[in-house]
């Protein structure tokens, strides 16, 4: 296990360590950006700090800052690639708030006018579609660095 991840049974730490797959958009020494496996809408992506922390109240402030900076860049990339009407930027703390993966993460969900709102998709995304979306977002993300 790397120094930056802590929980061996945490799926997001497994992704950070390369023990589980993900459709990566961007990474640096602090954060990782990848496609949500059950997208609530086309282009739904997650930003995580590489260092394990359960929720907002458990994460290094410098990591939080890196996540927030990346949220702006990812949102710009989503606007460029998907032309949504809006983008939901949100995160959940604790099971009672709806959190299901207990490694802090920020959701960025492109939204269209009039659609019913949801954070969790019902269907697993098609792997080829997610890979193509990650590649398009990665290109747009880099453009706005
Ligand atoms: P939350 O309810 O805020 O904890 O959201 C967890 C999110 O992680 C959900 O939107 C899931 O679809 C997503 N998710 C769970 N496992 C994976 C995975 N292996 N790769 C990508 N996204 C995942
Ligand atoms: Zn973790």
Question: pLDDT of 60-90, one tens digit each?
Answer: 999 999 999 999 999 999 999 999 999 999 9
* CATH number assigned to the domain comprising residue 103: 3.30.428.10
Contacts of 38 (CB under 8 A, 6+ apart): 120, 121, 122, 123, 124, 125
Instruction: Specify the number of domains making up the chain.
Output: 1
Q: Nearest 5 degrees, angle CA 8-CA 95-CA 122?
A: 90
Does the beta carbon of 100 lie inside 6 Å of ligand 1? yes
Q: Are 37 and 28 in contact (CB under 8 A)?
A: no
Report field, pTM of the whole predicted structure over 0.85:
yes
The domain of 126 spans 3-143
Contacts of 10 (CB under 8 A, 6+ apart): 52, 101, 102, 103
Indicate the range of 55-59, 61-65, 113-117, 131-135 predicted with least confidence: 113-117
State the Cα–Cα distance between residues 113 and 24, nearest whole angstrom.
Answer: 28
Ligand approaching nearest to the C-alpha of 51: 2
- The answer to whether 107 is a known catalytic residue is no
User: Collapsing DSSP states into helix, strand and coil, what is residue 75?
Assistant: helix
Active-site pick, 52, 105, 107, 120: 105
> For residue 102, which atom of ligand 1 is closest to its CA?
4
């Amino acid at each position: 296990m790397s120094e930056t991840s802590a929980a061996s049974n945490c799926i997001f730490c497994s992704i950070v360590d390369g023990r589980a797959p993900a459709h990566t958009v961007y990474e640096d020494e602090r954060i990782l950006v990848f496609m949500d496996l059950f997208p609530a809408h086309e282009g739904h992506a997650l930003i995580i700090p590489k260092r394990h922390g359960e929720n907002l109240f458990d994460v290094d402030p410098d990591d939080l800052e890196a996540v927030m900076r990346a949220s702006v860049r990812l949102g710009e990339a989503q606007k460029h690639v998907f032309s949504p009407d809006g983008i939901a930027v949100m995160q959940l703390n604790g099971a009672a708030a709806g959190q299901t993966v207990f490694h802090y993460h920020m959701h960025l969900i492109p939204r269209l006018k009039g659609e019913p709102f949801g954070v969790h998709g019902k269907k697993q995304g098609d792997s080829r579609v997610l890979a193509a979306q990650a590649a398009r977002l990665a290109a747009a993300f880099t453009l706005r660095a």
